[in-house]
Amino acid sequence: MINIAIFASGNGSNAQRIVEYFQDDHDINICRFYCNNPHAFVIQRAKNLEIPCTLFNKADLMAPGKVIQTLKDDNTDWIVLAGFLWLIPSYIIKRFPNRIVNIHPALLPKYGGKGMYGARVHEAVIQNEERESGISIHYVNEQYDEGHIIFQAKCSVSEHDTADKLASRIHQLEYEHYPLIIEKLIRSTPAK
C-alpha cells in the first residue's frame, strides 16, 4: 500500500475529494489528515470520513517531533497539501524528496508566494483584470509556491467575476484534476 498524508488548514473540500477518489483503490490509501487550525472544517470532514486527523501547532511542525514521528509511524510515502497555509520545513522536504505536492489556485509563477492563498489570490487576479486564471499542481520545496510545476489547467475570467465566483470555478478544476494527477504521479514514481 502507498500511504498518503493530506495537510490542510481550512475547509478541506479538496482533501475530501481526494479521499473519495481513492476510496476503493487497492494500492493507494489516504492514511491521515494533518491540520494546523483547531477551528478548521477539515477536522469535521476527517471524522465523517473516518480518517485519523492529527492537529499540530507551529512548534510541532518546525522542529522534528510529533509530525515527523507520526508520518514515520504511518509509513507515509507521499504528502499532499490541500489548502495548507504554512511552509513545510526543510527536514520534512529532505525526508520526502519529490514526494510532496501542492495545489495553488492560480497560474504560477503569477499570484504565488507568502500570503497568497484562497480568496486573496482570486481578488488579486480580478483586481489586475486578468482574463484567465487556473490551477497549478507543483512539487514543494523550501519556498512558497516555487517548486517544479507538474500540471496546470486554465479557466477564463470575465469582467463580471467576483472572487467567490472565480473560487468556485477554480475549485471545480481542482476537484477534476488534483486526484488524477496525484494518482498518475504515484503510479509513475518507483517505490522507495
Catalytic site residues?
104
Q: Which helix (H) or strand (E) holds 141?
A: none
Residue 178 CB, shortest distance to ligand GAR, in Å, is: 8
Quick check: 10 binds ligand GAR (CB under 6 A)?
A: yes
Q: Which of 13, 29, 37, 152 binds ligand GAR (CB under 6 A)?
A: 13
Quick check: 70 binds ligand GAR (CB under 6 A)?
A: no
Quick check: 105 binds ligand GAR (CB under 6 A)?
A: yes
**What is the rounded distance in angstroms from the CA atom of residue 163 to the CA atom of residue 7?**
24
Cell numbers 507538474 correspond to what residue? 150
Q: Which of 77, 83, 101, 179 binds ligand GAR (CB under 6 A)?
A: 83
82, 15 contact by CB (below 8 A): yes
Question: Which is nearest to 142 in space by CA: 187, 86, 181, 65?
Answer: 86
Chain position whose Cβ is nearest to ligand GAR: 83
42, 85 contact by CB (below 8 A): no
Quick check: 152 binds ligand GAR (CB under 6 A)?
A: no
Residues 154-173 touching ligand GAR, rule: CB under 6 A, are 170-171
Nearer to ligand GAR, 71 or 170 (CB): 170
Nearer to ligand GAR, 105 or 179 (CB): 105
Angle (nearest 5°) at CA 142 between 147 and 37: 100
Quick check: 36 binds ligand GAR (CB under 6 A)?
A: no
Give backbone dihedrals phi and psi of 75, rounded to 5 degrees, phi first: 55, 50
Stretch that binds ligand GAR, among 11-19, 50-58, 65-73, 151-159 (CB under 6 A): 11-19
Question: Which is nearest to 106 in space by CA: 152, 47, 165?
Answer: 152
Quick check: 12 binds ligand GAR (CB under 6 A)?
A: yes
What amino acid occupies position 173? L
Q: What single DSSP character describes residue 72?
A: H
Binding site for ligand GAR (CB under 6 A): 8, 10-14, 82-83, 103-105, 117-118, 121, 170-171, 174
